[in-house]
Amino acid sequence: MKQFNDENFLLQTATAQRLYHEYAAPQPIIDYHCHLNPQYVADNHVFENLSRIWLEGFHYKWRAMRTNGIDERYITGKDTSDWEKFEKWAETVPYTMRNPLYHWTHLELRTVFGVDKLLSPATAREIYDYCSERLQQPDRSARGLMEHYRVEAVCTTDDPVDSLEHHIRTRQSGFKVKMLPTWRPDKAMAVEDAAAYTAYIAKLADVAGMRIETFADLIAALQKRHDFFASVGCRLSDHGLGGFYADEYTPEEVDAIFRKVTSGKELTDIEISKFKSAMLVEFAVMDHDADWTQQFHYGALRNNNTRMMRLLGPDTGFDSIGDFTVGEQMSRFFDRLALRDKLPRTIIYNLNPRDNEMVATMIGNFQDGRYGAGKIQFGSGWWFLDQKDGMERQMNALSNLGLLSRFVGMLTDSRSFLSYPRHEYFRRTLCNLIGNDIEQGLLPASEIDFIGREIVAKVAYGNAKEFFRF
């Protein structure tokens, strides 16, 4: 019987173990998409206790606690202590078996704190006190944790109106880990709510230092901010979409739509779709001309629980996998850019696993050797899919229909400084997948050094290093 969470965790064969320990484990981490608070890095934040670093903003855990019957006041409540919230999480953990949270929880305890005990009500107080005390040490501060995990670069998620002051301050401090911004302009095209959109345009006008009265003004203001992001080291954009938009439109139509929404009038569904179609093209052209990579995270059905949305706001654990049909629109959008030779490097992340094969074949339509290997990428398992089964399904689809060897690998997509073991989890899963193939004679054992060096090590780190050129 194999042991839980030991050095060979998830590695079912001797070949998988060799691939992981010799080729994957030694690689640094490039976390090219995350939601870390940049101020925490700039300030080298010291977390008060284990609850603060582990539970705050972690909606994966919140969902599990709710499902386990934990009252909301012990999850997001203001009248309960950090210890009380942690105690309820410890009560929940034993019931998360077969959910990735069980694996992540114990990987994090082991790799950050050296704690091998299972978290349960019986061990909760001991683990909480020990880890909270450990977090007060300099090597477990925000920066200390990044260095502990040998992080080379992280890319945060930032709105065009953000000042990026914390990125600038971090760079000026001489911190060896690169913290770079990522351009996330979702609000600039969120015209569903006229009042909210008008307020956002006012903020954009202020930071861009110009009046925004026309669609051309909007693009000019966004270009100024895009240039500013580039000056701070930005190399990627990111877009959170339900689906893709590729309607036909004219410049006159889009300008009229923009004037309408900024005058406070609500738009029709057709007008919204046309506007978003135009904005996606404009953003892509900016990225292409700046030699950035654009990312598309699509397929989330957000804010399903209206009562809890009103109570807690977005990103609190009430989103799910959507069943959007996107293939035709995605193709039309990419083709529109390719016809103009304005399609930048691109990564596509799907949330519904039914789309795996569609995305894996779509990327092959728009590869371009002028950009090097793997210009268009099928992104790693995202959100509900960043667990063993989801990652295996993504990698199998990519292997069958594309080139796994050119894949840029894993990212945390996390707000927590304790989430870097997700890279280890991915690397172990990758090595187990390939190791099993070798053991079964599906890949030649004689090529294990090539496989380790040119596939495992590069998917773990090298491909991302070459692709993003941080």
Q: How far apart are the first and last CA of the chain?
A: 43
SS (H, E, C) 261-315: HHCCCCCCHHHHHHHHHHHHHHHHHHHHHHCCEEEEEECEECCCCHHHHHHHCCC
Confidence category of residue 304, pLDDT binned at 50, 70, 90 = very high
Check residue 246 and give its pLDDT. 98
The domains of the chain are located at: 14-46+141-468, 47-140
Let me know if 111 is exposed, middle or buried by CB neighbors in 10 A (0-12, 13-18, 19+): middle
Confidence category of residue 378, pLDDT binned at 50, 70, 90 = very high
Confidence category of residue 95, pLDDT binned at 50, 70, 90 = very high
Coil, strand or helix: which one is 430? helix
- For residues 29-53, give the mean pLDDT: 98
Distance CA 389, CA 212 (A): 47
Check residue 66 and give its pLDDT. 98
* Helix (H) or strand (E) segment spanning residue 14: helix 14-19
Check residue 338 and give its pLDDT. 98
φ, ψ for residue 377 (rounded to 5)?
-115, 145
Distance CA 398, CA 406 (A): 10
Residue 287: closest CA among 348, 325, 238? 238
Check residue 414 and give its pLDDT. 94
Confidence category of residue 30, pLDDT binned at 50, 70, 90 = very high
Equal CATH topology for 14-46+141-468 and 47-140: no
Coil, strand or helix: which one is 325? coil
Check residue 63 and give its pLDDT. 98
Confidence category of residue 51, pLDDT binned at 50, 70, 90 = very high
CATH architecture of 14-46+141-468: Alpha-Beta Barrel (3.20)
Confidence category of residue 228, pLDDT binned at 50, 70, 90 = very high
Check residue 363 and give its pLDDT. 98
Check residue 381 and give its pLDDT. 97
* Helix (H) or strand (E) segment spanning residue 349: strand 345-350
Distance CA 331, CA 329 (A): 5
Residue in this structure with the two tokens 């114990």, named with its chain if needed: 106
Coil, strand or helix: which one is 346? strand
Distance of CA 430 to the CA centre of its chain: 18
Calculate what percentage of the chain has a pLDDT beyond 70. 100
Average pLDDT of the chain is 97
Render pLDDT for 322-372 as a digit per residue (tens, 0 to 9). Answer: 999 999 999 999 999 999 999 999 999 999 999 999 999 999 999 999 999
Check residue 261 and give its pLDDT. 98
CATH architecture of 47-140: Orthogonal Bundle (1.10)
- For residues 202-224, give the mean pLDDT: 98
Render pLDDT for 119-178 as a digit per residue (tens, 0 to 9). Answer: 999 999 999 999 999 999 999 999 999 999 999 999 999 999 999 999 999 999 999 999
Single-letter amino acid code for the residue at 372: G
- For residues 177-189, give the mean pLDDT: 98
Distance CA 200, CA 41 (A): 27
Check residue 6 and give its pLDDT. 97
Check residue 25 and give its pLDDT. 98
